[in-house]
Amino acid sequence: MLGMNVMVTAKIDSIFSRWQDGVCPGGQVLVRKDGEIIYDKCFGYASLEHKLPITGETVFHVASVSKQVTVMCVLLLHEDKLLDIDDDIRVYIADLVAFSEPVSIRNLMNNVSGVRDQWELLMLQGVRIDDTITQQDAKDVIASQAELNFPPLSRYMYSNANFTLLAEIVERVSGKSLNELARERIFAPLGMSQTCFKDRYWQMIPNRAESYKLVGSEYVHAVLNYGTYGATSLNTTATDFLKWMENLKNPVICNKETLSLLLACPTLLDGTISQYAGGIAVADPKMYKGRPFVGHDGSDAAFKSSTVRFTEEDIEIIIFSNTETVSLGSAVNQIADIVMGVEASQTVATEVPEFYRAEFDERDAAGLYFTRGEVSMIVEVTKQGDQLWMREGYGASPLSHLDGNRYRLSTLDADLFLGKSAGMRFGARFFELEKRENGSGNCEEWSGYTGKYESGEVRTRYEVLAEAGELFISHHRNGKHLMAQIAPDQFVASIGQNLFGITISFTRGDKGEVTGCLFSSSRLSNVAFTKV
């Protein structure tokens, strides 16, 4: 039974005002405090075409929230003594391993294996999110990797490939599909009657929501044709998933030792403790105002999900959405404040980034912006008449001017700070951007980079072109994109439809000639291409 006063309910309702604006996508929001459901509401539409409202029975693709369930399947087999999570994965899937270093099942569970991310690799090949992507596609690209991102346990790096490999181990050891084993050992015992892994892209899921992006003022289909699973493709409802979260406190489907393995964070080689456990994050201080928590977020196409349990306050929050017009991380924090009775004046003030400028000339706004460092991001802002636009995968969206050099991109619930002092804010996350100055390159130097580059590991070819004093990288499916230099022999560029790009580092031979390049991103390190 719901036990929350009208004023508090209204405050939570207001967080999701974007989902109450006519026929628009939205989501499910479920909050439990001290074991009692205190908020349970649905907003928006599961199908805009058919005007079908989202209800408690609507099923959502919850993306990376799937990972913890895949890990539990592994741990149940460990509990049955059918496998050991400290075994080298070659014991079970030797045919999918081309790298030389030993990697354990536990390394995969904790995202410390060094195995390269499958989506980044497929993106390099030119595979798009709306292509029909099968489990075999993912396994093939993983199996062709002769190198790791780093030695196992030397650092944490998020990789979806880890959980695709875990799903394969589950299936080979159990003799059942991941979905069959999960249904038998997890979903049925917990009463999760509307939950399954979608393991074929053509599979029908009753009551499933469609996914929608906002482009300008128009919603469009964000097509998702996944047939991959393990890292993703769990389909469920907020009510069903709350039963899973209860099992994380009071285990029914496993013993307490197995649950402790799921929630255990690894110690890295340097002695530090990673904060990513078995397919689930544990108390990352950068999130949720330093409150201890257990949970995970998910994002595929325009499906967004956030599942969090604040362990000290015993507050559980589940938000599943079929659009990205509300920042779920910010929404979770706001809900937690409301439930705990924290007044706005007592909350941590929204940080004003150093790159905010009150005085700003809009003529300096348009251009190409990029990040330096591990996270490569490319933002292209154009101006048509008096309107600024930002390029996205599904087209350009208008920017609304707020104040100074701060603009709002409502389609992604993000703020942009433009000009020479630039940055981007997604919820509580900030990315400092640098504006590229046109014609800043050395045309004579560019000629050494031009040519074709091939990689055996991703089985594709890119071409570097010099045109009109600019350097471009081109691919038969990913298109042609401007390269921005960030250091000697190092550039960033967009690849495919994403905001997040690739860092390209050129390599040279003994005589100083360019011999190849290395592609890196936040989930890839040094994928080698040879100049041909």
**pLDDT computed for residue 347 by the predictor:** 41
Residue percentage of the chain with pLDDT more than 70: 94
Phi, psi of 2, rounded to the nearest 5 degrees: -75, 135
Three-class SS state of 387: strand
199/180 Cα distance (integer angstroms): 11
Q: Is the pLDDT of residue 3 over 80?
A: no
Q: Mean pLDDT: which of 232-236, 333-337, 424-428 is highest?
A: 232-236
Q: Is the pLDDT of residue 440 over 60?
A: no
**pLDDT computed for residue 522 by the predictor:** 87
Output 486 or 70, whichever has higher pLDDT. Answer: 70
8, 34, 205, 348, 446 from 342: Cα distances, Å: 11, 17, 40, 10, 56
**pLDDT computed for residue 348 by the predictor:** 39
Residue 307, both tokens: 């599942």
Output 414 or 117, whichever has higher pLDDT. Answer: 117
Domain residue limits, the chain: 60-340, 362-435, 443-531
pLDDT band at residue 156 using 50, 70 and 90 as cut-offs: very high
- Tokens 């394969």 belong to 168
What are the pLDDT digits (tens) for 20-54? 999 999 999 999 999 999 999 999 999 999 999 99
Phi, psi of 206, rounded to the nearest 5 degrees: -55, 140
Output 507 or 374, whichever has higher pLDDT. Answer: 507
Matching CATH number, 443-531, of 2.40.128.50, 2.60.40.10, 3.40.50.20, 2.30.38.10: 2.40.128.50
What are the pLDDT digits (tens) for 458-483? 999 999 999 988 899 999 999 999 89
**pLDDT computed for residue 301 by the predictor:** 92
Q: Is the pLDDT of residue 531 over 90?
A: yes
Residue 418, both tokens: 């433009």
User: Which letter, b or e, does each residue of 218-246 get, where b requires 16 or more Cβ atoms within 10 Å of its Cβ?
Assistant: ebeebbbebbbbbbbbbbbbbbbbbbbbb
* CATH number listed for the domain at residues 60-340: 3.40.710.10
Q: Are residues 287 and 312 in contact, defined by beta-carbon separation less than 8 angstroms? A: no
25, 276, 319, 324, 484 from 302: Cα distances, Å: 10, 24, 14, 6, 28
**pLDDT computed for residue 140 by the predictor:** 97
Q: Is the pTM of the predicted complex or chain greater than 0.75?
A: yes
Q: Is the pLDDT of residue 417 over 90?
A: yes
113/288 Cα distance (integer angstroms): 27
**pLDDT computed for residue 385 by the predictor:** 87
The per-residue pLDDT of the chain, averaged, comes to 91
pLDDT band at residue 490 using 50, 70 and 90 as cut-offs: very high
Q: Which of 86-95, 163-172, 359-368 has the lowest mean pLDDT?
A: 359-368
What are the pLDDT digits (tens) for 104-128? 999 999 999 999 999 999 999 999 8
DSSP 436-481: PPTT-S-HHHHTTT-EEEEETTTTEEEEEEEETTEEEEEETTTEEE
| R_g of the chain, CA atoms, integer Å | 23
How many other CB atoms sit within 10 Å of the CB of residue 351? 10
